Amino acid sequence: MKPILVFQTDFTYKEGAVCAMYGVVKSVDRELEIIDGTHEIPKFDVWSASYRLYQSLRFWPEGTIFVSVVDPGVGTERRASIAKTIDGYYVVSPDNGSLTHVKNMIGIAQIREIDEEINRLKGKGTENVSIFHGRDLFGYCAAKLASGIITYEQVGPEYSVDEIIELTISEPTIEPDYAKGIFEINDPNFGNLWTNISTNEFLKAGFNYGDYIHVSVKHNGEEKFSDRVLFEKSFGYAPKGDVMIYNNELMKIAMAVSQGSLSEEYDLSYGADWIVEFNKAQSPPDSLRKAD
């Protein structure tokens, strides 16, 4: 079976970019299956592109080819590449930091720079276009690879995995009854915020489901949130409208408002300058707990 192509971009569907990109794929091979990852990554947000690859990649069949195009440096000397992970997936992407999480959380076995002389779209009047590599280079080369027209070795010259451009991944601080990290990404539809703190490490530090934990959130040193918050497995344990701590889909500690939006209601966001601290606090009286 031919590999599936999964696309993620910051293009949105407001104009024809995604349509043109998929047209190129189907022009190479009509049998290729194209799936949307997301086209709603915040514009120019290479960090989010990197994180979303890590979030979803390993849940696809081995051999799946991901095409990730968030490329504020398109047309410059940044490398256009195809990375092969240690477990057999491929990521077609600008080498601009978008491979950070895949490299650190999954592992990259090999990376090749796309040879534009042989693996760039030709004959469509796009030869002098420098701003749409998603269509003319990434989508086209990915389609050739998925269809079997080229092998991975024919993508272009290999270069060292050590040369891959990486963004800085913050490491949390974990101590008994204490954890400090950052909000590293959001769940944009629901307004939840995900930390870089492993749930397993959080539990080892002495935090338990059912605890009320003091949470402090600071942005550039200014406190934006401070309260005692319930820690539970899922949203239904917290009354509607309450802030809560929970274990998210990636086994990371996250925060939400039950049936609400934490980011909107408390004006919180994510990034290296959004610091969150958890201190174990005494549980409230039984009368303040939600009944089982």
- Region 161-189: mean pLDDT is 97
The percent of residues above 70 in pLDDT, for the chain, comes to: 96
Residue 287 has pLDDT above 50, yes or no: no
Beta carbons of 196 and 248 less than 8 angstroms apart: no
Average pLDDT over the chain reads 95
Residue 292's pLDDT band, with cuts at 50, 70 and 90, is very low
Q: What is the pLDDT of residue 255?
A: 98
pLDDT of residue 285: 42
Q: How many CB atoms lie within 10 A of CB 65?
A: 22
Give the per-residue pLDDT at 291: 41
At residue 188, the 3 state secondary structure works out as coil
When pLDDT is cut at 50, 70 and 90, the band that residue 282 belongs to is low
CA distances to 10, 55, 70, 94 from 45, rounded to whole Å, are 8, 16, 7, 13
Per-residue pLDDT at 215: 98
Name all domains of the chain by residue range, CATH numbers in brackets.
5-163 (3.40.50.10790), 173-288 (2.40.30.90)
Least confident piece of the model among 210-224, 231-245, 277-291: 277-291
The two beta strands, 243-247 and 222-232, are: parallel
Average pLDDT over residues 131-151: 97
Query: pLDDT class for 281, splitting at 50, 70, 90?
Result: low
Phi, psi of 250 (to 5 degrees): -105, 15
Let me know: does 82 contact 90? Beta carbons within 8 Å. yes
In sign, the C-alpha dihedral spanning 250, 42, 170, 106 is positive
What pLDDT is recorded for position 60? 98
pLDDT score of 89 more than 90: yes
User: What predicted TM-score, i.e. pTM, was given to this entire model?
Assistant: 0.92
**Percent of the chain, pLDDT > 90?**
94
CA–CA distance, 166 with 181 (Å, rounded to integer) = 20
The pLDDT tens digits of the residues spanning 4-13 come to: 999 999 999 9
